[in-house]
Amino acid sequence: MAGNIPPGPSPLATPQAPTVRALQCPKCAGRLDVRGLGQTTTIACSSCGSVVDVSSEDLRVISTFDARVTRQPVIPLGTRGTLRGDPYEVIGFICRAIAVDGTDYEWGEYLLFNPYRGFRWLTEYNGHWNDVKTTTGQPEDGADSTVTYLGSTFKHFQSADAVVRYVLGEFYWRVSVGEKARVSDYVTAPLMLSKEETAAETTWSLGEYVEPDAVAQAFGVKTGMPARTGVYANQPSPYSAKASLLGKALAGLAATALIVQMASCALAQNRKVFEQSYTFTQEERGKALVTVPFALTGRASNVVVETTADIENKWIYFSLALINLDSGQAYDFGREVSYYHGVDGGESWSEGGRSDEAVLPNVPAGQYYLRIEPDSDAPPVNYVVRVSRDVPTLWFLPVALVALSLYPLIFWLRSRSFETQRWAESDDAPVSSDAADDSE
C-alpha cells in the first residue's frame, strides 16, 4: 500500500451509500465508476487494463497491463459491508508479489472507503486476512530487530521488494503496474506493523488478523473464500488463550494432589505390629515356621512386610503368606534378598541389597500370623522380619503430577509446533544444523 491515506471527516450521522460518478475510459470507452469522491486519484479500467489519472481533466492514461491475466478479487468491487461497526465499500483491488529464491508469492489488497471514516485495507494471503490502517504515529526502533508502537514490541519477520502485478478499481495515489516498494513486516500476534519504503516516501501501517469467517460475514461472501493454508505471520495461536486457563487448572489440581498426599500421611497409622529375628540353617531347608499372632486394626489398609538379611555375595529367598487367624484367608507372596559385590578391572561394583519389602494393599482388620519358608544358596543366614500396618504411600503425589503433566506437555508441543510453522517463513527463522552444514 503506497502513499499516505488522507483522513476522513468526523462522522456526524450514519453515512449514506457513497455517491458514484461515472466516467469513460479514454482508451476503450469503457465505463469507469468513481466511488471515492474527490479523494480518488487513479482508477484501473477492468475492460482494457488502463490505469487512468482521474485527477486531470483529460483523463490521462498513466500505465497499462493485460487485463485478461488477472487475480480476481474474492470480494467484488462495489460490495458494501460492515467492518469494526462502520459501513465500507470495496473500491479498489491490488495484486502484489514478492520473489523469494526464484518463487513468486502473491497476495491481494482490498481498498475500502467510507466517506466519513476514510480509507482502510483488507489484505489476503493464502486465506489469511488482515484489517489494515495507516499508523498515526512513528514506530521507534528497538533492540534485536524490533520496533515499538503504542506500547507494544514487534519482532522483525520479513523484508522483501514488493511489486504491483495487477490493479482494479480506484485509488488515492497514482498507482501503476510494476510499482515497487521495500516492505518490512514486524509482528506481535495478532498485530503486524508494515513499513513500506520507496524513493519518495516511507509509510507505516498497522494490521490486525481477522478470521476468514468474519470477513465473509461482514461482506456477505457466500462462496469462493480461499482456503486457509499454513500459519500466517501474525495469526493468533489457538493455544495462547488457553495457556493461562490451563496453568491455573494445573496449579489447582497439583495443590489438590499435594493436600491429598499430606492428608494421607497425617491420617495413616504407620504402626509396627510385628518384628522378629531368625536364623536359617541347613537343617531347616524345606521347613516352614509361623510367627506369633498379631493384630491389624483400623480400616482396611496396606500391610508392609520387610525382610532384612545379613548376607554377602549370596541370596536368601522367602516364601511368605499372611494368614487371617479366624477366616484362614491367606495372602501368598515371595521375596528375594540378594547382595553381591566385588572388584573388576580395578573398579568396585555391587548389585542388590540386604533388605526388601512387600506391600499388600487393602488388608482388612483382624488377627493374623505369617508363615515363612526360607531358602538360601549358603546357609546359615541371619534375617529379620518386620510387619507394619497402614504405612503412608508416597507414590501418589509423583504419579498424580506425572499424569497431570501429560496434557500440558502435549499442549506445549502443539503450541511450539504452531510457532515453529509461523517463524519458518521468517527471515529470522532458526537455522538447523543440517542447513548450516550445507551452507558451508
pLDDT tens-digit profile of 50-80?
Answer: 676 666 665 555 456 655 555 678 998 889 9
Lowest mean pLDDT among 27-31, 107-111, 115-119, 288-292: 27-31
Q: Which residue has the cell 473500491?
A: 91
Determine the 3-state secondary structure of 85 from DSSP: coil
- Cα separation, 440 vs 312, in Å, equals 60
Of 344, 295, 343, nearest to 322 by C-alpha is 295
Neighbours of 317 (CB within 10 A): 15
Q: Are 70 and 46 in contact (CB under 8 A)?
A: no
**pLDDT value at position 396?**
83
* Pair type for strands 86-100 and 152-171: antiparallel
**pLDDT value at position 65?**
60
- Cα separation, 172 vs 259, in Å, equals 67
- Cα separation, 404 vs 414, in Å, equals 17
Q: Are 380 and 280 in contact (CB under 8 A)?
A: yes
Bridge partners of residue 204, in order along the sequence: 195
Q: Are 111 and 121 in contact (CB under 8 A)?
A: yes
The mean pLDDT of the chain is 85
Dig out the grid coordinates for 246 from the structure. Answer: 490451563
Lowest mean pLDDT among 14-18, 76-80, 402-406: 14-18
Q: What share of the chain is helix, strand, coil (3-state, %, to 5)?
A: 20, 45, 35
**pLDDT value at position 26?**
65
**pLDDT value at position 15?**
43
Which amino acid, 212?
A: P
Could you please report the per-residue DSSP string of 108-156?
EEEEEEETTTEEEEEEEETTEEEEEEE-SS--EE-SSSEEEETTEEEEE
Find the mean pLDDT for residues 153-172: 91
Pick the residue with more confidence: 36 or 7?
A: 36
Q: Are 68 and 82 in contact (CB under 8 A)?
A: no
**pLDDT value at position 353?**
95
Classify residue 292 as exposed, middle or buried by CB count within 10 Å of its CB (0-12, 13-18, 19+). exposed
- Cα separation, 164 vs 180, in Å, equals 7
Angle (CA) 249-251-254 rounded to 5° is 105
Q: Domain 269-389 belongs to what topology?
A: Jelly Rolls (2.60.120)
Q: Are 295 and 273 in contact (CB under 8 A)?
A: yes
**pLDDT value at position 5?**
35
Dig out the grid coordinates for 1 from the structure. Answer: 500500500
Could you please report the per-residue DSSP string of 162-181?
EEEEEEEEEESS---TT-EE
Pick the residue with more confidence: 361 or 63?
A: 361
Pick the residue with more confidence: 118 or 36?
A: 118
What pTM, to 2 d.p., does this model score? 0.65
pLDDT interval class at 245 (50, 70, 90): confident
- Cα separation, 31 vs 273, in Å, equals 103
pLDDT tens-digit profile of 196-206?
Answer: 998 888 999 99
CA dihedral sign, ordered 65, 67, 68, 69: positive
Q: How do the domains of the chain map onto residue ranges? A: 21-236, 269-389
Res 10 pLDDT > 60: no
**pLDDT value at position 14?**
41
- Cα separation, 172 vs 78, in Å, equals 16
pLDDT tens-digit profile of 308-348?
Answer: 999 999 999 999 999 999 999 999 999 999 999 999 988 99
**pLDDT value at position 2?**
41
